[in-house]
């Protein structure tokens, strides 16, 4: 499926491959009429835009959960630190300004609802069933487990749990996303329906 993009996505910072982006878009498009989509880990909004464009067509909503101060790997001196996103005056990594700018450029301000907080805080009183959850937050085991435990139980039957950065072999990448993917399968609540590059897709049974 050809996605009508309102801007050049190569201009947007992020770590999402094209085939993964297309899969997120297609699954969100197929589910957006059933309920809202929620993502954990928006960074600068690349995945948010693909999810948002799908939901916009169905008058749906994307809740974008991110504290916007970066994961462990984004901090000063770490492997994925981007100095352009570091606010020296506050001595803090900050992606929210860039995220808002990209959502505005994509004309998705009436579709995307930013939740500028952790999963734990955002989920504390959450009641709304979700048609799709995309987890791409912090890659420490504690952070990934928290994201999974906060949101997996809110996915409606037939809904999708998508988890990014699955690397079964330790030498290929961090293991936390793969650990929660295996945890979801072992729970008996989800079945695997697709793997696209490093994106895993599970359906709530």
Which are the catalytic amino acids? 139
Give the torsion sign (CA, 165, 144, 148, 145): positive
Kindly report the number of other CB atoms within 10 A of residue 117's CB atom. 14
How distant, in Å, are the alpha carbons of 16, 31, 89, 188 from that of 137?
13, 22, 25, 23
CA angle 104, 112, 157 (to 5 degrees): 155
Q: Are 151 and 63 in contact (CB under 8 A)?
A: no
Q: How far is residue 47's CA from residue 136's CA, in Å, rounded to a whole number?
A: 9
Kindly report the number of other CB atoms within 10 A of residue 3's CB atom. 15
């Amino acid at each position: 499926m050809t996605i009508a993009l309102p801007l050049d996505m190569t201009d947007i910072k992020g770590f999402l491959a094209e085939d993964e982006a297309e899969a997120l878009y297609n699954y969100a498009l197929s589910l957006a009429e059933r309920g809202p989509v929620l993502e954990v880990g928006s960074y600068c909004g690349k995945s948010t835009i693909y999810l948002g464009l799908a939901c916009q067509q169905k008058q749906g909503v994307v809740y974008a959960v991110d504290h916007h101060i970066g994961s462990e790997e984004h901090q000063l001196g770490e492997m994925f630190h981007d100095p352009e996103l570091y606010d020296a005056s506050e001595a803090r990594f900050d992606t929210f300004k860039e995220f808002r700018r990209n959502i505005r450029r994509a004309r998705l301000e009436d579709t995307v609802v930013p939740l500028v907080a952790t999963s734990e805080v955002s989920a504390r009183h959450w009641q709304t069933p979700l048609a799709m959850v995309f987890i791409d937050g912090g890659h420490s085991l504690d952070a990934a487990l928290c994201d999974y435990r906060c949101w997996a139980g809110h996915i409606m039957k037939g809904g999708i749990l998508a988890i990014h950065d699955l690397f079964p072999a330790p030498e290929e990448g961090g293991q936390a996303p793969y650990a929660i993917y295996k945890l979801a399968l072992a729970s008996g609540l989800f079945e695997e329906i697709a793997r696209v590059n490093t994106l895993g897709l599970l359906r709530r049974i």
